[in-house]
Amino acid sequence: MVDFSGTFLPVTTPFDPVTGDVDVIAFRANLRHWFQNPIRGILVAGSTGESVFLDEQERVTLLEAARDVVPDDGLIIAGTGGESTRHTIRMTQQAADAGAEAVLVSPPAFFKGAMSPEVLARHYRAVADASPVPVLVYQVPLRLSTLELPTRLVAELCKHPNIVGIKDSRGQLGLLAELVEACADDFQVLVGSGALLYGALEIGAVGGIVAVGLMAPAEAAEISVAFREGRSADAGRRQEQIAPVHNQIVGGMGAPGIKVALDMLGLRGGVPRPPLAPLPEARTEEARKILDDAGLLTVAGV
């Protein structure tokens, strides 16, 4: 059983500003910075990593690059959700071969009306049967093009020996609590909202995969560490510090805003891949103020 307790970062994908290719050097540089903090691991090719714009070889390249620099005790999760079961299985097997220790599988949603709980159950079980590594179900943020997985479906899927957990990015603690209550004790629930990490840990989640940690890795990691060590007040203070950054940049600006923020913090953000547009200039100063109000620019020395 892989232990997913702690804070994970859904890493961004830097692109070369001239060629548009994946910038592996920048990617590795970011990882080295983030792993200076006690994060548990990373998610490669998640929503924040603009996974829908990456081809199969680019995903493999990123995973191999990550494997080169991630510490031995750091976990690598790969996003491998596709629209067909066949494609999802192929990407899952490729990810395992490239060094991923687990996969995060988003639901197929293009033919949304046909994706009944029974169809989704067959899909996830087939992927889990074929996967060489543990499978996490991904409840994608509902503001994106996706569908909502009923709690009873997740409770049924958790009985599969290779479906070991879920990342729930709906941003509602009540729904997260439903999952914790309905699923087996060894099924690991992770929260996807960086504004709710502390609250999620209190109700039984084991950790989180939170994009706010890309901008505040020390603070996001400290929430999990302090909670585990019984320092609830410290965890709560860190949560209060970074919750506005999640709400206003991650939730309000998405990947383009996160990338602008990374540039401001001295990391390699860059532009998103078209057709996703860069953050409008008018909002750039808004992002800077959000970081400054949270004390993150001072911490970064910029």
CA torsion sign for 20, 25, 31, 34 is: negative
Q: How many residues does the chain have?
A: 302
Question: DSSP letter at 294?
Answer: T
Q: How far apart are CA 50 and CA 27, in angstroms?
A: 13
167 is catalytic: yes
Catalytic residue among 112, 159, 167, 259: 167
Beta bridge partners of 15: 22
Round to whole Å and give the CA distance between 206 and 77.
16
Helical (H) or strand (E) element with 44: strand 41-44
Classify 9 as helix, strand or coil.
strand
Cβ atoms of residues 55 and 15 within 8 Å: no
How far is CA 227 from each of CA 207, 208, 231, rounded to the nearest angstrom? Answer: 10, 13, 6
Hey, which residues are catalytic here? 167
